[in-house]
Amino acid sequence: MTDKAIAGFHRIYKILLSASIIAAGLCLIYGCLTIYYSGDQPYSRQAVADAFSLIAVPVYICLGLILVSLVINLIFPDSCKKAKQTISAKSRLTLLLSKKNLDACNSEMLASVNKQKKSRRLFTIIQAVVVAVSGAVFLVYALNGSNYDNSQINSSMINAMQVLLPCLCVMLAASVIAHILRNKSYKQECELISKLPSVKIDSSQPLPTADKADRKLLILRCVILLAGAGILIYGFLAGGAADVLTKAVNICTECIGLG
């Protein structure tokens, strides 16, 4: 088979595997909703098994595709798969330093370079302090059992989220802002170093102006985190914590037989 045909074959396999995983997830959600809205009727092993019976087929298909992938990768390795390489601002600076003669720096440029290094160090220190303080507050509250009342579990969890979620948001914001500022500082230092008269940089090693892949990945992680936090808050405000606790108690006492 040609490289193009092998690449297409792998692409089709990935689509089938993704579809089976999505189908299994949807069946799992449907089973959970079926149990949740089933009312106050007693639970049993058979009832739970019936609710999750739909997930069996896509899970078996997914497992089968995973086993098949082992054989496919042995027989038809995807040699055409080449990840698009991007160079971060920090890597670009390292490359420039290896190509430039720093002895040609005048005092003004050297002061600017040192200023950028000090600013990055300051950003890292501030980030560490903010994350440490927020993390300490998070742990102190989360591990304090007196903050949780079993008789009012839903209100206790709402109060907890009012403290814990801001701590998480502060840590996330500090990390994101520090990353952006450090990346900007690296780019500014790259601009300074690139002005030095020295040996020309090899044209076979392109120097991108921005690391778009890392930026998109960071945005995606933030969106997923915020979406999860929003769903969690909505569940607590809607009284879901008490409902889940009741369901869990019913399953443990009626289905599994504990107590």
pLDDT in tens, 183-216: 899 888 888 888 776 555 455 555 444 455 566 7
- The pLDDT of residue 33 is 81
Alpha carbons 30 and 24: distance in angstroms, whole number: 10
- The pLDDT of residue 243 is 75
Q: Which residues contact 225 (CB under 8 A, 6 or more apart)?
A: 172
* pTM confidence score: 0.50
Q: Answer whether 81's CB lies under 8 Å from 7's CB.
A: yes
Residue 57 has pLDDT above 50, yes or no: yes
Nearest of 24, 50, 27 to residue 38 by alpha carbon: 50
* Mean pLDDT for the chain overall: 77
Q: At what angle do helices 212-237 and 153-194 cross, to 10 degrees?
A: 170
Residue 72 has pLDDT above 80, yes or no: no
Q: Answer whether 154's CB lies under 8 Å from 244's CB.
A: no
- For 68-82, what is the mean pLDDT? 68
- For 103-129, what is the mean pLDDT? 86
Alpha carbons 146 and 143: distance in angstroms, whole number: 9
- The pLDDT of residue 118 is 92
**Which residue type, as a one-letter code, is found at position 212?**
K
Q: Which residues contact 187 (CB under 8 A, 6 or more apart)?
A: 89, 209, 210
Highest mean pLDDT out of 44-53, 68-77, 125-134, 211-220:
125-134
- For 65-74, what is the mean pLDDT? 79
Phi/psi of residue 165, each to 5°?
Answer: -65, -45
DSSP three-state, residue 163: helix
Nearest of 161, 108, 114 to residue 138 by alpha carbon: 161
- The pLDDT of residue 106 is 77
